[in-house]
Amino acid sequence: MHTNDKTLRERIFHAVLYEVCAMAMLVPLGSWLVGADLGHMGVLALMMSTIAMLWNMLFNALFERLERRYHWQRTPAVRSLHAIGFEGGMLLLTIPVIAWWLDCSLWQALVADIGVLLFFLPYTYAFNWSYDHARARLLARKLGLQG
C-alpha cells in the first residue's frame, strides 16, 4: 500500500478534522470582524465548511493522482502548489455563497473571502504537513507491529 493511498473513511476523517479545527478559530473571529451575530456567522461557516469538505475530498483525490502519475514528492513546492490550488478552487466556490448570505456584492464577498484565504493558505499547509507526519508515524508503527 502506498503511503498516500487513503480510504474514503480516512478522507472523510481528514476533511472533518480540517474543518472543525478551522471553524473553532474562524467563527468567533469572523463574527467580531464582520459585526455579525455569532449564530449567523456559524451558519455561513457550516455552509462553507460543507463546500470545503466536499472540495477537499475531490481536490485531494485528484491531486494525489497527479502525485502518483508524475512521481511527485511532498516537497515545500508541491505542498505550496497543493495549498494554492485548493484555496483557489475554494474562492470560486464560496464567493457567491458569501455574497448571498451576507447580502453583499460579489466584490465585497471577494474581499471577505481573501481575508479568509489569508488565514487558510498557511493553515492548509501547516495542517496537511502535521496530518501527513502524524499519519506516517501511525503507519510506520502499524507496519512495525505487523512485520
Cβ burial, residue 91 (10 Å; 0-12/13-18/19+)? middle
- Grid coordinates given for 68: 502518483
Confidence at residue 89, expressed as pLDDT on a 0 to 100 scale = 94
Structure-derived torsion over alpha carbons of residues 36, 24, 76, 118, reported in degrees to the nearest 10: 10
| Residue 86 CB neighbour total at 10 angstroms | 20
> Which residues does the chain have with pLDDT short of 70?
1-4, 145-147
* Domain residue extents for the chain: 8-146
- Grid coordinates given for 43: 451558519
Distance CA 107, CA 21 (A): 28
- Grid coordinates given for 93: 466556490
Percentage above 90 pLDDT, the chain: 61
Confidence at residue 60, expressed as pLDDT on a 0 to 100 scale = 93
Distance CA 78, CA 68 (A): 13
Confidence at residue 1, expressed as pLDDT on a 0 to 100 scale = 43
Distance CA 71, CA 67 (A): 5
